[in-house]
């Protein structure tokens, strides 16, 4: 209803203006290069409006001709991207389904159509893995290292490849690089820690553990337990080295090993291997009573057979009667 009323009002106003102009035609005179042009005001305004319309029409035609190549190019680029993402999605589905041939074919199409290296290289690497082409997969993952946005993804892939091939040194190198790149990533931290521990690199594993704790990737109780285990292993290695020493160097070596074992026992009082080793090393350094007390205190909490065996072995060359 209101729209009809507005339309009527507009028509009425325009009609009024037309009637007024008809009653007051006026005269429009234009002088140009010695010519005089006379016409009514209404005709003059109409001519100027027509001229303005023609100029605007020519302008739009010229602009459309100029913009047409860019529009066509944008249309083709958009269509190419749509086909590329369609190939990419189909390739991902083929990877999930275990279809190596389709995955490889769609990976090639996506790589050709899309300017998205992270996605296309990952798809190509996964397709190569499905085909059993480990060298090809490694090659694609190595290409990812060239760009900052794909470097971490490439390191992850190369780490998995090295671990599958049994290359522990290579896996450790890739995991360390990934851990340096993103210290908050749990898989990289865990991989570095596990490989260093397996390699008996106790100092390296302890440093990695400190970084893991600093990044808050594991609870403090778990970190304390791991540190106790590492210190115990380090003390065992130091004790073995001390037994190979002769003369004055023997006792300081055992004292160093005992210090490590005692630190482990203090961190984890229920960890039997640390307590037993600490007691034995105390005896080696002449602190038999300290070792006995260590075992006796632990026995009240964890009465373990290994503690009893360690307690009985604290005194050397003891008779069976005295031992009983």
Confirm whether 217 is domain-assigned: no
Tens digit of pLDDT for each residue in 110-146? 666 666 566 677 777 777 777 777 888 888 888 888 8
pLDDT of residue 106: 67
Q: Which of 191, 168, 169 is nearest to 179 (CA)?
A: 191
pLDDT of residue 49: 79
pLDDT of residue 228: 93
Neighbours of 143 (CB within 10 A): 15
pLDDT of residue 144: 81
Question: Counting every residue, how long is the chain?
Answer: 324
pLDDT of residue 315: 67
Low-confidence spans in the chain with pLDDT less than 50: none
pLDDT of residue 38: 73
Q: Report the half-sphere exposure of 289 (CA within 13 A, side-chain side).
A: 0
Q: Which 3 state secondary structure label does DSSP give 245?
A: coil
209 Cβ contact list (under 8 Å, min separation 6): 193, 223, 226, 227, 230
pLDDT of residue 291: 87
How many helices (H) and strands (E) in the chain? 15, 2
Among candidate residues 93, 118, 144, the one where a domain is terminated: 144
Domain membership of residue 260 as a residue range? 226-324
For residue 323, give both structure tokens.
Answer: 């031992």
The predicted model scores a pTM of 0.65
Confirm whether 213 is domain-assigned: no
b/e sequence 105-141, b meaning 16+ C-beta within 10 Å: bbbbbbbebbebbebbbbbbbbbbbbeebeebbbebb
Among candidate residues 90, 111, 144, the one where a domain is terminated: 144
Give the number of domains in the chain: 2
Confirm whether 307 is domain-assigned: yes
pLDDT of residue 310: 84
pLDDT of residue 174: 92
């Amino acid at each position: 209803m209101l729209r009809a009323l507005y339309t009527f009002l507009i028509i009425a106003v325009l009609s009024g203006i037309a009637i007024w102009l008809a009653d007051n035609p006026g005269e429009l005179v234009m002088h140009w290069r010695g010519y005089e042009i006379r016409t009514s005001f209404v005709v003059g305004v109409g001519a100027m409006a027509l001229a303005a319309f023609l100029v605007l029409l020519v302008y739009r035609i010229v602009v459309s001709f100029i913009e047409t190549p860019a529009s066509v190019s944008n249309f083709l680029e958009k269509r190419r991207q749509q086909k590329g993402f369609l190939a990419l999605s189909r390739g991902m589905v083929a990877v999930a389904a275990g279809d190596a041939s389709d995955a490889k074919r769609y990976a090639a199409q996506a790589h050709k159509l899309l300017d998205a290296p992270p996605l296309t290289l990952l798809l190509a690497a996964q397709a190569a893995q499905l085909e059993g082409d480990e060298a090809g997969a490694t090659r694609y993952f190595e290409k990812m290292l060239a760009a900052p946005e794909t470097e971490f993804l490439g390191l992850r892939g190369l780490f998995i490849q090295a671990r599958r091939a049994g290359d522990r040194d290579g896996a450790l190198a890739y995991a360390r690089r990934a851990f340096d790149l993103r210290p908050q990533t749990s898989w990289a931290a865990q991989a570095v820690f596990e490989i260093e521990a397996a390699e008996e690199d106790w100092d390296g594993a302890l440093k990695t553990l400190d970084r893991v704790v600093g990044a808050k990737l594991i609870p403090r109780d778990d970190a304390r337990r791991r540190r106790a285990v590492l210190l115990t292993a380090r003390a065992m290695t130091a004790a073995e080295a001390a037994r190979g020493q002769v003369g004055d160097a023997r006792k300081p070596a055992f004292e160093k090993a005992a210090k490590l074992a005692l630190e482990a026992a203090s961190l984890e009082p229920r960890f039997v291997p640390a307590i037993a080793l600490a007691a034995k090393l105390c005896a080696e350094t002449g602190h038999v009573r300290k070792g006995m007390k260590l075992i006796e205190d632990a026995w009240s909490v964890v009465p373990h057979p290994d503690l009893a065996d360690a307690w009985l072995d604290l005194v050397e060359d003891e008779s069976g009667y005295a031992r009983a």
